[in-house]
Amino acid sequence: MSSSITAFKTKFLLAALPDIPFDGWTPELLRRTAERLGISKGRMDMEFPCGASDLSRYFFLWATDETLKKLARKNMAALRVRERIALGVKTRLEVLAPHKEAVRSALAFMAAPPRAFAMPKLVWHAADKLWWAAGDTATDYNHYTKRLLLSGVISTTTLYWLNDASPRHAKTWGFLERRIDNVLKIGMKIAKFKKKEPA
C-alpha cells in the first residue's frame, strides 16, 4: 500500500463517489460527505487541504493501489510480459468501472488549470506501478521509455473505455490489445536504434 493511501481517505472517497455524478468535485460534495460521516470540517481540511482537488487526485491513487492488490493475487509469473501489462491496465479499468461517471467527471475537473499538471503525474505513477507489478527492473533508458509508452496506453484506453457501451467493455479490451501491439513495435524500434548508436 502506498504511504499516501489511508483508511480515512478511502472511507471518505467511497462515501463521496456515489454523489459525484450529481455534485461534481466541489466543496459541496466534501461538506455533504463529511456531514454524512460525522467528520469535522477541521479533520476534513487536514486530510484534504486543497479540497476537491486533493480528493480527485486521491481517487486515481486509490484506483492504482486497488489494482496492485488484485494483481498481487494473480499468477503473473505464468504470463508473458505483454499479458501482464494488458492485465494491469484492464484490472485498473475494472476497479474504476463501478465509478465510470466519477472518472469522466474527474478527468474534466483535472483538465482545468492549475490541476492539469497533476494528471500526467498520476498516469505516470500508474504506469510505473504496473511495470513494477509486471516484474520490470530496468534502470537504463528502458525504464523511462516503458513508462512513457504505457502512460500513453493508459490514457488513450481510458478515454476509449469511457465511451464504450459494448457488453463487458469488449471493444475496449480489443483496443487495448492493439495499443499494446503498437507500443511493443515502437519499443523494439527504439531498442534497435539504441544498439546502433556509437559507444
pLDDT tens-digit readout, 3-59: 678 999 999 999 999 999 999 999 999 999 999 999 999 999 999 999 999 999 999
The DSSP call for residue 6 is -
Q: Which residues contact 171 (CB under 8 A, 6 or more apart)?
A: 160, 164
pLDDT for the residue 101: 97
pLDDT (tens digit, 9 = 90+) per residue, 43-102?
A: 999 999 999 999 999 999 999 999 999 999 999 999 999 999 999 999 999 999 999 999
Contact 130, 81 (CB under 8 A): no
Query: How many CB atoms are closer than 10 A to CB 92?
Result: 25
- Quick one: 82 exposed, middle or buried, by C-beta within 10 A (0-12, 13-18, 19+)? middle
Which CATH code for domain 7-196? 1.10.357.10
Contact between residue 176 and residue 153 where contact means Cβ atoms under 8 Å apart = yes
Q: Measure the CA–CA gap between 35 and 38, rounded to whole angstroms.
A: 5
pLDDT tens-digit readout, 87-112: 999 999 999 999 999 999 999 999 99
Contact in structure between 101 and 24 (CB atoms under 8 Å): no
